[in-house]
Amino acid sequence: MTSSSKRESRHAGDPHMDRIEEELRHGNYLRGDERRLQRIIDDDKAEVTRLGMDLHEITDKMQRLFQEGRKGLGDPVVVDEAYEVTVLEYRGIIPSPWMDHYAAPKIVVEARNLKTGQKLRFSLLSLHLIRNYGFFQGKGSPFRIEPRDLYAFFQ
Amino acid sequence: MEELSPFVIFFASIFTSNILLTNFLGMCSYLSVSRELKTAWGLGLAVIFVLTCTSAVNYWLYYYLLVPQGLEYLQYIAFIIVIAAFVQVVEMIVDRVSDRLYAALGIFLPLITVNCAILGGSLFMVIRKYDFVQSLMFGAGSGIGWALAIMALAGIRRKMSRRSAVIPALEGPGIVLIITGIIALGFIGFSGVVQIN
Amino acid sequence: MTQIILPALSIAALATVLAVIILIVEHYLMDYGEVDLTINDERKYKVTGGSTLLNTLKKENIFIPSACGGRATCAYCKVKAVRGFGEILPTEEPLLTKEEIAQGIRLSCQLKVKNDVAIEIPEELFSIKEFKGRVEAIDDLTYDIKLFRFRLKTPETIDFKAGQYIQFQAPEYGDIDESVYRAYSMCNVPSDQTSVELMVRLVPDGICTTYMFKYLRVGDEVTFTGPFGDFYLRDSDRRMICIAGGSGMAPLRSILKSMSPEEIAKRRPIFFFGSRAKKDLFLMDEWRAFEREHPDFTFIPTLSSPAPEDNWEGETGYIPSIVEKYVDNVAEAEGYLCGSPGMLNACVDMLVRSGMPEERIYYDKFE
């Protein structure tokens, strides 16, 4: 009859978030994490608040790593004398699962903090999701970043 | 209850006897859909529409079908069935008539069936023995009151997401319930202005 | 006894009446019946209403490009709505520019076909089909690039222009429970009508490439739609400067190998292939042989960071700095580029700075 009657409502939830959660489950962003989407976001948000992280500031820094690292065209580049960044680019695009009309190019940034040796890996899509929705992806997702790891990387 | 003007009932059900803040009905969707003003507004509108219409339909059902047969006690089941069917029909009508409206509101309609404020509206109208016009006003007013409450909360949550440092343990449902309680306290100030119970 | 039967029957009766009402409403409201679909003013179809335009067209074997499966994210499925559709939807607005909206351009995955409608789509789309094939071969080209050859089953032949791509469907597998579509360019020549060859590079944790590298086996069935794309050889007398990196070699291989000896002599293509180290190079023998066969064709592989043990004696560095060494009059030539966004940007910049007008620089826009 109508598509909405196929959705299982475990309890009254935000239908928009329910649809997004379905997208995420199918797209491997939640990978084995049994928690509901809102819970994942809330738990990570608690961590972010506890650490005093400013997501805009941190994602700006990630964006900078990408923009500077890109100049290496696949070779490692040292950015701000503090990070070694390699930007891997692939042909194609990935539509954002958040139904926000954003499609990310397939670009993966691998960075290493030269002082601490800590490594950070993120894709442009995961950057978009962290910045706009505080979504760090489910535990088990290959592109999940723990907020505290992200925080420590930029210290 | 015949002395109460329908307009008094209308205003009272929005403010002094707000179905959500005074009677605590319709809390689930209220808690989860209050994150963004836009979705809160959408759901609020849908609730107003469904509450008003189902109050009217259930009024007829109760007084013209159940009562004559002495089956008043079936009201709980009967009202719920009517609400569910009504929502299905409305969804189809909206889908047919306006793609735009369906894209904006359509996803909320199934959510309304499980909103206990809708059932509450019908049950209260029976308990308080409202006549038809009073019931209609009560349904509309309750819907508007519910919508006001969810939009107030959405506005507060939006402001909070930018400025407030909430204790991590209270993040999410915790702080929302506390805020709701405080809003409800504020609305208690209205009580005594008009009584419709 | 009546005290149990009467209420039970009443509720049953109420529920039945309501169910009947719903069914009646559904029958009258949701059944849109047959409607007329007119495309480009001439082709007329009788279709069943109620589905999205994208799906309705699919049932008529007309495949509008889509990368997101109808979720209004990729904006590939734009069509021109001539008449019969309502106002623009909130899901479409962010993806369309004001000019597009004014021209009546809409997202076909969001439009519902409910009455007689008329649309306009590019004629090329009529040659797009959904293909089913079988994996004939999977060969390693490098440590992270594989060559896949699919033998077509239905339809039996494909008609594509050298340089075009297909949308390959990776089905549900492992933990992934939804199929995804990803674009890959054909690297074989169009005259090879019964099969399709793709060069695919493994993307870390990529849904589609993980499927193709780890799950797909020779003999398996595959599904894809195509051909798409407007990256192909333009008819002119100008010299061709071809630049590619990694799997970007695919469309250029298709283009170059489908040119006649006379065309190659006329266009004098020079192909710069950029990689990082020797382990990223592949098909070197094939290109050297091609050079020997066609004296007017030049192949220049370059490595940006060769390993010491590579003993590399060829060009090093990045392509933008090498092109002018080999091409006298860059401004008069045409550019055919294929690679990752970063590499494309750098090369386009270089060509433009050397005086080549942007209209003469061609690259695959599916990135």
Contact at CB, B98 and C86, closer than 8 angstroms: yes
Q: Which of B65, B85, B92 sits opposite C18 (nearest CB)?
A: B85
Provide the domain limits for residue B52: 6-188
Residue B100 one-letter amino acid: R
pLDDT at residue A4 above 50? no
Q: How far apart are CA C280 and CA C141, in angstroms?
A: 9
Contact indicator for A3, A113 with CB cutoff of 8 Å = no
Q: How far apart are CA C72 and CA C67, in angstroms?
A: 10
DSSP C88: P
Q: What angle do CA B30, B33, B34 make, to 5 degrees?
A: 75
Q: Which of A27, A31, A90 sits opposite C203 (nearest CB)?
A: A90
pLDDT tens, position by position, B171-195: 778 888 999 999 999 888 877 776 6
CB contacts, 8 Å: C86 with chain B: 98-100
Q: How far apart are CA C208 and CA C216, in angstroms?
A: 10
Contact at CB, C112 and B99, closer than 8 angstroms: yes
Per-residue pLDDT band at A13 (split at 50, 70, 90): low
Residues A38-67 have a mean pLDDT of: 90
Per-residue pLDDT band at A1 (split at 50, 70, 90): very low
Alpha helices in C219-333 (DSSP H): 249-257, 261-267, 284-293, 319-326
Residues C255 and C267 in one domain: yes
Contact at CB, C18 and B74, closer than 8 angstroms: no
Flag whether B1 is in a domain.
no
Contact at CB, B111 and A15, closer than 8 angstroms: yes
With a cut of 70, list the residues of chain C below it in pLDDT. 365-367
Q: Please give the pLDDT value at position C365.
A: 63
pLDDT at residue A120 above 80? yes
Q: What is the mean pLDDT of chain A?
A: 84
Flag whether B195 is in a domain.
no
Q: Please give the pLDDT value at position C335.
A: 95
Q: Please give the pLDDT value at position A6.
A: 35
pLDDT at residue B196 above 70? no
DSSP B147: H
Task: Tell me the count of A-B CB pairs closer than 8 A.
Answer: 53
pLDDT above 90 coverage of chain B, percent: 41
DSSP B75: H
- Residue partners of C236: CB distance under 8 A and separation at least 6: C334
Flag whether C45 is in a domain.
yes
In a mutagenesis test of the B interface, which of A8, A14, A36, A99 is the best target, namely the one with the most B β-carbons within 10 Å? A14
Output b/e per residue, C84-121; b: 16+ Cβ within 10 A: bbeebbebbeebbeeeeeeeebbbbbbbbbbeebbbbb
Residues C47 and C102 in one domain: yes
Give the CATH number for residue C344: 3.40.50.80
Per-residue pLDDT band at A149 (split at 50, 70, 90): very high
Per-residue pLDDT band at A9 (split at 50, 70, 90): very low
Flag whether C186 is in a domain.
yes
Q: Which of A16, A38, A42 sits opposite B39 (nearest CB)?
A: A16
pLDDT at residue B1 above 70? no
pLDDT above 90 coverage of chain A, percent: 41
- Residue partners of C286: CB distance under 8 A and separation at least 6: none
Using CA coordinates, name the residue in chain C closest to A122. C204
Flag whether B23 is in a domain.
yes
ipTM, two decimals, is 0.80
Alpha-carbon gap: C9 to the closest alpha carbon of chain A (Å): 27
Residues B136-158 have a mean pLDDT of: 93
In this structure, the strands spanning A77-79 and C145-154 are: unpaired
pLDDT tens, position by position, B92-104: 888 888 777 787 7
- Residue partners of B123: CB distance under 8 A and separation at least 6: B75, B76, B79
pLDDT tens, position by position, B9-38: 999 899 888 999 988 898 888 887 888 888
Residues C80 and C147 in one domain: no
Residue ranges of the domains in chain A?
A: 14-153
Give the CATH number for residue C76: 3.10.20.30
Q: Which of C91, C175, C367 sits opposite A91 (nearest CB)?
A: C367
pLDDT at residue A14 above 90? no
Helix (H, G, I), strand (E, B) or coil at A68: helix
In a mutagenesis test of the B interface, which of A3, A4, A11 is the best target, namely the one with the most B β-carbons within 10 Å? A4
As for how many domains chain C has, the answer is 3
On the 0-12 / 13-18 / 19+ scale of CB atoms within 10 A, C295 is: exposed
Provide the domain limits for residue C166: 128-228
Contact at CB, A28 and C176, closer than 8 angstroms: yes
Give the CATH number for residue C153: 2.40.30.10
Q: How far apart are CA C105 and CA C57, in angstroms?
A: 16
Alpha helices in chain C (DSSP H): 2-30, 53-59, 98-103, 207-210, 249-257, 261-267, 284-293, 319-326, 341-353
Q: Which of B92, B95, B171 sits opposite A46 (nearest CB)?
A: B171
Cα-based torsion angle of the residue sequence B43, B44, B47, B53 in order, rounded to the nearest 10 degrees: -130
Contact indicator for C222, C130 with CB cutoff of 8 Å = no
More confident residue, A115 or A4: A115
Contact indicator for C52, C70 with CB cutoff of 8 Å = yes
Q: Please give the pLDDT value at position C366.
A: 58
Contact at CB, C73 and A96, closer than 8 angstroms: yes
In a mutagenesis test of the B interface, which of C25, C108, C114 is the best target, namely the one with the most B β-carbons within 10 Å? C25
Domain end among C125, C141, C169? C125
Contact at CB, C367 and A107, closer than 8 angstroms: no
φ, ψ of residue A7 to 5 degrees: the values are -75, 135
